[in-house]
């Protein structure tokens, strides 16, 4: 098992190396001269161009530039925004908590709604309840988050006036609509997994044995079946969290909410490449980190793999 | 036994492809999906026959009209007819999906085939690139590509296509790995078949069924990703009537004009729902139609 752990960690380090190379390349892959692209047509005097070129270290050979980028990034220095000159790491540190808070809230929505739908479908397999729950699930998979968000605003903010349409704080009423917008499509995925996992466990012999002993339906479901059906779902939760972090981009834009996703969109629109690089790097590093932890947790949770 | 074999001459109706089509046609959800998608595609293609208006023609005196007989889906803040924009916009959204999946599948499948077939350091290099690309969540990779190429609908198609590449590459590579060691590949090699011939004549057709599922579901996801980019203002630019861009424009008027956000969204939702229903049916049919190993 330890050799697996070592291999998994080495793979992640190699992937992170590739991620850093790709993120570093963003600025160099811009068609034409990146410095003139960044400055736009207004500030094209030679002095400003030379100054920015030097600030970004473009006068050095590419491998040296990459080495500088990597060593600085490892120390938490991701450069400065070329629009407002604040350090990229400070801007990200300011916005990231709001995104993580939103992603966690969405995860809770995804799990609660997903488990409810999945259990209802599995325990009533083949009935109209199963069809209804899975119909809701496939609709959830097909609904674009940006449209769902607008519909929720239209109904709950504009028509009923229950929740604010702008969510620039972390209190419950401001967070509810964004969390549902981000979490409901993921709930559809969770419900499909819970249904499949529960149906698989419910057909096992030990469940038949428990029923034969006269154990009540509730005890069979919650004590015997659900616990075992949870394993694949729990490992999936880590991956969901990583997706939710990336998915926050759209939701933050709809609800005019602070966060790293909105920071990325603003940076792309204003061609603030150091900021784009910083945000892309942080989200992908978090993504790789969460995936690695999920894989390792799975090995610890699953005795079949652990004992090998 | 022999007479039975002769009694059943080879017919196209017994072929694997035909069985696959029959299974898909028998699936009720797939039928619903095909009907919805068919209506949407025909409606969008027949846009010039269904409406005589220009999707970008403004008419300030008719701004923000609610849906009526004259304007079935209402008008926007500049008086443009939403129904006309809906039909022409559907063409663009479908185009984004098809072009992006074509880019992603072509590049992904070819590199996956090469990696899986040749193995060794070629495989290690391609697999590392796939792992690195998969380290970026789909939308983030598309955003990074847009950051490089700049906003615009063509760039959005390329960006979404690139973000789809790694999954096609991974799937085609794993299909090749399982096919590579089969006896008929060995036979083709013994007969002097070139690598390219073996790859495209023998390996690819056998990997095609699983790739078909990914491509079908991929079109839905690509339309969704393209619309998301346009919604963020990074894909189709105004006055283009792409559905995501229409939602972006309508967002500002959500309090006064619900129809600006409801109708383009219905278009995206129904398209993706129908593609998902068809994709699920193809997926079930591929599993069911595959001959069991003896």
SS (H, E, C) B168-180: HHHHHHHHHHHHH
CB atoms within 10 A of CB B25: 12
Q: To the nearest 10°, report the CA torsion of B181, B185, B186, B187.
A: 150
A14-40 pLDDT tens trace: 999 999 999 998 888 887 777 777 776
Chain centroid to Cα B259, Å, comes to 27
* Residues of chain B found within 8 Å of residue A288, distances taken between Cβ atoms: 135
Of B138, B147, B265, the CB nearest to A144: B265
Residue B235 and residue B140: Cα distance in Å, rounded? Answer: 14
> What was the pLDDT predicted at B292?
45
Smallest CA–CA distance from B130 into chain A, residue: A15
Smallest CA–CA distance from B147 into chain A, residue: A268
How close B133 comes to chain A (CA, Å)? 8
Q: What is the mean pLDDT of residues A177-199?
A: 88
Give the model's confidence band at A308: pLDDT under 50 very low, under 70 low, under 90 confident, else very high: low
- Which residues in chain A (247-266) have CB-CB distances under 8 A to chain B? 247, 249-250, 253-254, 264-265
Residue B240 and residue B92: Cα distance in Å, rounded? Answer: 9
Task: Provide the 3-class DSSP secondary structure of residue B75.
Answer: strand
| Interface contact A26, partner B, CB < 8 A | yes
The answer to whether the CB of B232 falls within 8 A of the CB of B204 is no
- Which residues in chain A (140-199) have CB-CB distances under 8 A to chain B? 141-147, 150-151, 153-154, 158, 165
Residue B146 and residue A29: Cα distance in Å, rounded? Answer: 11
The answer to whether the CB of A129 falls within 8 A of the CB of A174 is no
Smallest CA–CA distance from B145 into chain A, residue: A26
Residue B124 and residue B122: Cα distance in Å, rounded? Answer: 6
State the Cα angle at A31 between A27 and A34, rounded to 5°.
Answer: 45
> What was the pLDDT predicted at B134?
87
Of A147, A280, A288, the CB nearest to B247: A147
> What was the pLDDT predicted at A306?
58
Kindly tell me the burial class for residue A164, based on how many C-beta atoms sit within 10 Å of its own C-beta (0-12, 13-18, 19 or more). middle
* Site of tokens 């229409």: B246
Residue A290 and residue A240: Cα distance in Å, rounded? Answer: 10
CB contact under 8 A, B261 and A11: no
* Residues of chain A found within 8 Å of residue B228, distances taken between Cβ atoms: 144-146, 250
The alpha-helical segments, DSSP class H, found in B191-291 are 195-197, 204-231, 243-251, 259-289
> Does residue A290 carry a pLDDT above 50?
yes
CB contact under 8 A, A287 and B254: no
> What was the pLDDT predicted at B3?
46
Residue A124 and residue A7: Cα distance in Å, rounded? Answer: 43
The answer to whether the CB of A266 falls within 8 A of the CB of A113 is no
Instruction: Report which DSSP code applies to B203.
Output: I
Q: For chain A, what is the mean pLDDT?
A: 83
Cis peptide bond prior to B239, omega within 30° of 0: yes
* Residues of chain A found within 8 Å of residue B234, distances taken between Cβ atoms: 265, 268-269
N-term to C-term CA, chain A = 7
Residue A52 and residue A56: Cα distance in Å, rounded? Answer: 6
Residue B289 and residue A37: Cα distance in Å, rounded? Answer: 53
* Residues of chain A found within 8 Å of residue B287, distances taken between Cβ atoms: none
Instruction: Report which DSSP code applies to A157.
Output: I
Residue A29 and residue A42: Cα distance in Å, rounded? Answer: 22
Of A21, A30, A265, the CB nearest to B148: A30
> What was the pLDDT predicted at A43?
59
Of B137, B143, B224, the CB nearest to A242: B137
Residue B166 and residue A283: Cα distance in Å, rounded? Answer: 18
CB contact under 8 A, A264 and B131: no
pTM reported for the whole predicted model: 0.84
* Site of tokens 């959204």: B93
Instruction: Report which DSSP code applies to A160.
Output: S
* Residues of chain A found within 8 Å of residue B131, distances taken between Cβ atoms: 11, 14-15, 18
Task: Provide the 3-class DSSP secondary structure of residue A80.
Answer: strand
Q: To the nearest 10°, report the CA torsion of A258, A148, A152, A132.
A: -140
Residue A7 and residue B133: Cα distance in Å, rounded? Answer: 19
Residue B281 and residue B26: Cα distance in Å, rounded? Answer: 9
The answer to whether the CB of B187 falls within 8 A of the CB of B256 is no
> What was the pLDDT predicted at A106?
92
> What was the pLDDT predicted at A13?
92
Query: Residue B107's closest CA among B141, B124, B131, B130?
Result: B130
A291-304 pLDDT tens trace: 888 778 777 766 66
Q: Does the CA dihedral B210-B212-B215-B216 come out positive or negative?
A: negative
* Tokens at B134, concatenated: 């998969």
* Site of tokens 């981009």: A249
* Site of tokens 């060593």: A71
| Interface contact A268, partner B, CB < 8 A | yes
CB contact under 8 A, A144 and B138: no
Residue A308 and residue A303: Cα distance in Å, rounded? Answer: 8
pLDDT by residue, tens only, chain B of 294 residues: 444 444 455 555 566 677 778 888 888 888 999 999 999 999 999 988 998 888 888 888 888 888 999 898 999 888 899 999 999 999 999 999 999 999 999 999 999 988 888 888 888 898 899 989 988 887 888 988 998 888 899 999 999 999 999 989 988 888 888 787 778 888 888 888 888 888 888 888 877 877 888 888 888 889 999 999 999 888 888 888 899 999 998 888 888 899 999 999 999 999 999 998 888 888 877 766 555 443
Of A21, A247, A284, the CB nearest to B136: A284
* Residues of chain B found within 8 Å of residue A276, distances taken between Cβ atoms: 144, 147
Total residue count of chain A as it appears in this document: 308
CB contact under 8 A, B233 and A146: no
Buried b (16+ CB within 10 A) or exposed e, A278-287: bbbbbbbbbb
> What was the pLDDT predicted at B294?
38
State the Cα angle at A187 between A249 and A257, rounded to 5°.
Answer: 25
């Amino acid at each position: 098992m330890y050799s697996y752990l070592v291999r998994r960690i080495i793979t992640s380090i190699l992937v992170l190396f590739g991620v850093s190379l790709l993120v570093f390349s963003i600025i160099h892959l811009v068609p034409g001269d990146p410095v003139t692209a960044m400055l736009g047509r207004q500030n094209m005097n030679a002095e400003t161009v030379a100054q920015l070129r030097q600030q970004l270290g473009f006068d050095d050979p590419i491998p040296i530039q990459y080495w500088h980028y990597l060593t600085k990034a490892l120390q938490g220095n991701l450069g400065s925004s070329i629009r407002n000159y604040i350090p990229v790491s400070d801007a990200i540190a300011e916005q990231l908590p709001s995104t993580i808070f939103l992603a966690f809230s969405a995860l809770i929505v995804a799990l609660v709604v997903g488990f409810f739908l999945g259990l209802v479908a599995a325990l009533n397999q083949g009935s109209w309840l199963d069809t209804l729950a899975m119909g809701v699930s496939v609709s959830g998979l097909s609904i674009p988050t940006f449209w769902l968000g607008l519909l929720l605003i239209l109904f709950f903010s504009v028509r009923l006036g229950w929740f604010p349409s702008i969510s620039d704080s972390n209190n419950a009423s401001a967070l509810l609509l964004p969390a549902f917008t981000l979490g409901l499509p993921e709930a559809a995925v969770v419900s499909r997994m819970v249904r499949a996992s529960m149906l698989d466990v419910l057909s096992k012999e030990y469940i038949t044995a428990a029923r034969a002993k006269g154990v009540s339906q509730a005890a069979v479901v919650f004590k015997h079946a659900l616990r075992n059906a949870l394993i694949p779902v729990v490992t999936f939760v880590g991956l969901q969290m990583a997706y939710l972090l990336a998915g926050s981009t759209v939701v933050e834009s709809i609800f005019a909410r602070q966060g790293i996703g909105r920071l990325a969109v603003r940076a792309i629109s204003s061609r603030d490449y150091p900021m784009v690089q910083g945000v892309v790097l942080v989200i992908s590093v978090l993504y790789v980190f969460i995936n690695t932890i999920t894989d390792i947790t799975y090995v610890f949770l699953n005795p079949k793999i652990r004992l090998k | 036994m022999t007479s039975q074999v002769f009694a059943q001459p080879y017919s196209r109706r017994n072929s694997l492809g035909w069985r696959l089509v029959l299974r898909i046609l028998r699936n009720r959800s797939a039928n619903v999906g095909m009907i919805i998608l068919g209506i949407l595609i025909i409606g969008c293609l027949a846009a010039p026959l269904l409406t005589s208006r220009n999707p970008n023609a403004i008419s300030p005196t008719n701004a923000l009209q609610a849906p009526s007989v004259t304007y079935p889906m209402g008008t926007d803040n500049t008086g443009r007819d939403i129904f006309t924009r809906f039909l022409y916009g559907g063409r663009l959204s479908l185009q984004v999906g098809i072009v992006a999946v074509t880019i992603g599948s072509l590049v992904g499948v070819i590199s996956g085939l090469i990696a899986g077939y040749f193995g060794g350091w070629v495989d290690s290099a391609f697999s590392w690139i796939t792992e690195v690309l998969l380290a970026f969540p789909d939308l983030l990779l598309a955003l990074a590509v847009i950051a490089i190429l700049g906003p615009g609908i063509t760039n959005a198609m390329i960006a979404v296509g690139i973000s789809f590449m790694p999954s096609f590459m991974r799937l085609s590579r794993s299909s090749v790995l399982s096919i590579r060691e089969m006896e008929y590949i060995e036979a083709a090699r013994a007969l002097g078949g070139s690598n390219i011939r073996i790859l495209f004549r023998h390996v690819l057709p056998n990997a095609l069924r699983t790739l078909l599922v990914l491509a079908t579901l991929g079109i839905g996801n690509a339309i969704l990703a393209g619309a998301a980019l346009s919604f963020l203002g990074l894909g189709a630019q105004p006055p283009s009537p792409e559905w995501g861009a229409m939602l972006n424009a309508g967002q500002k008027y959500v309090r006064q004009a619900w129809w600006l956000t409801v109708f383009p969204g219905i278009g995206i939702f129904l398209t993706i729902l129908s593609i998902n229903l068809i994709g699920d049916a193809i997926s079930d049919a591929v599993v069911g139609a595959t001959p069991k190993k003896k």
